[in-house]
Amino acid sequence: MSPRGEADAVAAAVRSRPLRIGLTGPIGCGKSTIAGWLRAWGGAVVDADALAREVTRPGEPAHDAVLALFGDAVRAADGTLDRAALAAIVFRDPGALAALERIVHPAVRPRIMAALAAAEGGVQFVALEAIKLIESGYAPLCDEVWLITCDPVRQRDRLIARGLAREDAERRMAAQAGLSARLAPAATRIIETDGPREATANLVAAALTSALARHRAAGAGV
């Protein structure tokens, strides 16, 4: 195929599907809030964390594999996975977190791919919300990667407002220390959520408008 033919094929592929936005960033910085706005504005959202919970439900192979690895320390009275106990372990032990991810990530990937395909009918844009968006190799599937960040004090306060104890909130933040700095080079846009809610919504709306315009231009071969 000639270079022009290849360019036309790429443009046709872009035109044939909605804009894909990857949402990533540390816990408590506003990814889910932004995903909610994008859904309200007519887009579709794929939540990788929700799908990870699905693959670790009772009856799923990953559920049994997690119990086999971590044992009674994460086993509830009814024999199923105690998610709170598991979180307490993995957020203070990077090795345990990596071991958990080796079980969950291969199980959740097919569901993410299927959810992306299913979500793309009749919408202009789809957002994939995932903390491990870049590390798990989903960034190349996205037209843009948005890194959502905020001040650590605000991040901690938001986690506490969700119901986490201060110590638990700080432990989870420590487990992701330096994440924003590591992800920044791979981000298309960095959206800081420290300001008032309305101001942040305006920033996100402007980012979406710009991203859609770029996507249309790419599809037109501009």
Task: Write out the two tokens for 66.
Answer: 């997690």
Rounded mean pLDDT, 111-126: 93
Q: What is the CATH number of the domain that holds 33?
A: 3.40.50.300
**Residue 150 resides in a domain:** yes
Rounded mean pLDDT, 67-89: 95
**Residue 158 resides in a domain:** yes
HEC per residue, the chain: CCHHHHHHHHHHHHHCCCEEEEEECCCCCCHHHHHHHHHHCCCEEEEHHHHHHHHCCCCCHHHHHHHHHHHHHHECCCCCECHHHHHHHHCCCHHHHHHHHHHHHHHHHHHHHHHHHHHCCCCCEEEEECCCCCCCCCHHHCCEEEEEECCHHHHHHHHHHCCCCHHHHHHHHHHCCCHHHHHHHHCCEEEECCCCHHHHHHHHHHHHHHHHHHHHHHHCCC
Give residue-wise pLDDT tens across range 142-159: 999 999 999 999 999 999
Q: What percent of the chain lies above the pLDDT cut of 90?
A: 77
Asked if the model's pLDDT at residue 176 lies above 80, the reply is yes
> Which one is predicted more confidently, 16 or 178?
178
Rounded mean pLDDT, 52-79: 96
Give residue-wise pLDDT tens across range 25-49: 999 999 999 999 999 999 999 999 9
**Residue 166 resides in a domain:** yes
pLDDT at 9: 40
**Residue 78 resides in a domain:** no
Rounded mean pLDDT, 90-116: 94
> Which one is predicted more confidently, 95 or 9?
95
Q: How far apart are CA 221 and CA 148, in angstroms?
A: 29
Q: What is the CA radius of gyration of the chain?
A: 19
> Which one is predicted more confidently, 213 or 16?
213
Q: How far apart are CA 54 and CA 108, in angstroms?
A: 8
pLDDT band with cut points at 50, 70 and 90 for residue 103:
very high
In terms of residue numbers, what domain contains 176?
A: 19-52+108-213
Pick the range with the lowest mean pLDDT from 9-13, 37-41, 132-136: 9-13
**Residue 196 resides in a domain:** yes
Nearest to 151 by CA among 182, 127, 173, 184: 173
User: How many separate domains does the chain show?
Assistant: 1
**Residue 100 resides in a domain:** no
Rounded mean pLDDT, 13-25: 83
**Residue 118 resides in a domain:** yes
Mean pLDDT of the chain: 90
pLDDT at 8: 42
Give residue-wise pLDDT tens across range 79-101: 999 999 999 999 889 899 999 99
Maximum CA pair distance of the chain?
Answer: 64
pLDDT at 2: 46
Asked if the model's pLDDT at residue 14 lies above 70, the reply is no
Asked if the model's pLDDT at residue 106 lies above 60, the reply is yes
Q: What's at 14, amino acid-wise?
A: V
pLDDT at 188: 96
pTM: 0.86
**Residue 193 resides in a domain:** yes
